[in-house]
Amino acid sequence: MATSGSVQGPLGASFPSSASAAPASTATLRHSALVRVTHWITTLCFLALLVSGAELVLSHPRFYWGETGNVLTRPLFKLPLPSSRNLVPTGYGYVLPDQNGWSRSLHFQAAWIAVLTGLLYMIFGLFTGHFRRNLLPAKADLSWSGFSSALAGHLRFKLHGEEEAWSYNVLQRITYLFVIFVLFPLVIWTGLAMSLTFVSAVPATVTLLGGEQSARTIHFFVSVALLLFLIVHVVMVCLAGFKSRTRAMITGRTGTSMERT
């Protein structure tokens, strides 16, 4: 459980709020045990999903819309990549080694571990009031001036004072809420829509998306959005102090000066 007055991010970050920021000279609890465990499990699962997902894309780097799609169907778009299947026309004069077997198995296992970990974090956030207290922007922060100021600060990589460093600004709050309540559920939904077993039990999963190939295409774009979010998150951590942030995410404590992510 988080200590009173702390803020925890969807990837596991936990920061005291500006109203209760601890002195920079003390070794302050930055992350609860639950947040640290779910953060690293999610990290490992995402890396596994990224590697296995890339291999699945290479097996057929063509995307369609509707229920069906194959090499005889005109694609919605195609990626300029070689394929691991010799029947897929790519324009390249060679075929990559087929790694489809292990990649599908790894993708399936990592996805379910990530889903269960995410459910644990969601339950924690809802029952402790974390989302309401620490992620919902205040009405005053939803003004255009407040939003544009936060955006400009991020674009200039501006570092703020210690109190603000321990709480999320409006841009971060909106981004985290979008990732937690839109991107994550959508990537899970579209993933389930490609499972024949799940679809046979709940046909609406795929019909609402317009078909299995539509689900695959949406799944691809949502995955790219999550990857971009992760890249920005890592860049901000590096700029704020990679060693200090990583140590805090492992031990839960840091004795260094307050930094901002």
Rounded to whole angstroms, the Cα distance separating 121 from 110 reads 16
pLDDT: which is higher, 125 or 80: 80
Give the model's confidence band at 260: pLDDT under 50 very low, under 70 low, under 90 confident, else very high. Answer: very low
Residue 1 lies in a domain: no
- Determine, yes or no, domain membership for 64: yes
Residue 186 falls inside a structural domain: yes
Q: How confident is the model at residue 20 (pLDDT cuts 50, 70, 90)?
A: very low
Residue 14 falls within a domain, yes or no? yes
Which CATH number fits the domain that encloses residue 161?
1.20.950.20
Q: Residue 261 falls within a domain, yes or no?
A: no
Task: Give yes or no for residue 148 having a pLDDT over 80.
Answer: no
The confidence score (pLDDT) of residue 125 equals 85
Question: pLDDT grade, residue 33 (50/70/90)?
Answer: confident
Asked, for residue 66, whether it belongs to a domain, the answer is: yes
Rounded CA-CA distance 144/152 in Å is: 12
pTM of the model: 0.80
- Closest listed residue to residue 32, CA positions, set 64, 61, 7: 7
16, β-bridge pairs: 6
pLDDT digits (tens, 9 = 90+) for 174-194: 888 999 999 999 999 999 999
CB 61 within 8 A of CB 81: yes
Question: What pLDDT is attached to residue 21?
Answer: 42
Over residues 32-48, mean pLDDT: 89
Residue that wins the pLDDT comparison between 220 and 258: 220
Question: Considering the domain boundaries, does residue 259 fall inside one?
Answer: no
Q: Residues near 85 by Cβ (< 8 Å), separated by ≥ 6?
A: 59, 60, 95, 98, 100
Q: How many domains does the chain have?
A: 1
**pLDDT number for residue 215:** 97
Report the length, in residues, of the chain. Answer: 261
- What three-state secondary structure class fits 7? strand
Residue 38 located in a structural domain: yes
Domain that residue 42 falls in: 6-254
Which amino acid is present at 112?
W
- The gap between the terminal CA atoms of the chain, to the nearest Å, is 21
Phi, psi at 144, each rounded to 5°: -65, -35
Cα gap 174→235, rounded to integer Å: 18
Strand partners, 77: 63
Of residues 244 and 83, the one with the higher pLDDT is 83
Burial of 17 (0-12, 13-18, 19+ CB in 10 A): middle
pLDDT band at 28 (very low <50, low <70, confident <90, very high): low
The torsion of the CA quartet 77, 82, 84, 85, rounded to 10 degrees, works out to: 60
| Cα of 78 vs its chain's centroid, Å | 24
Range of weakest confidence among 9-13, 66-70, 203-207 = 9-13
- Tell me the two tokens of residue 67: 């229920």
Contact 249, 255 (CB under 8 A): no
pLDDT of residue 254 exceeding 80:
no
The pLDDT tens digits for 225-234 are: 999 999 988 8
When pLDDT is averaged across residues 109-113 and rounded to a whole number, the result is: 96
Cα 186 to Cα 122, 212, 221, 230: the distances in Å are 15, 14, 10, 17
* Single-letter amino acid code for the residue at 184: F
The whole-angstrom separation of Cα 15 and Cα 30 is 5
Q: What is the pLDDT of residue 119?
A: 94
* Percent above pLDDT 70 for the chain: 77
Using pLDDT thresholds of 50, 70 and 90, give the confidence band for residue 34: confident
Q: How confident is the model at residue 209 (pLDDT cuts 50, 70, 90)?
A: very high
**pLDDT of res. 18:** 41
Which has the higher per-residue pLDDT, 64 or 28? 64
Cα–Cα dist 112/160, whole Å: 38
Locate all alpha helices (DSSP H) within the chain, ordered by sequence: 33-59, 100-127, 130, 144-155, 162-165, 170-178, 184-192, 196-201, 204-207, 212-251
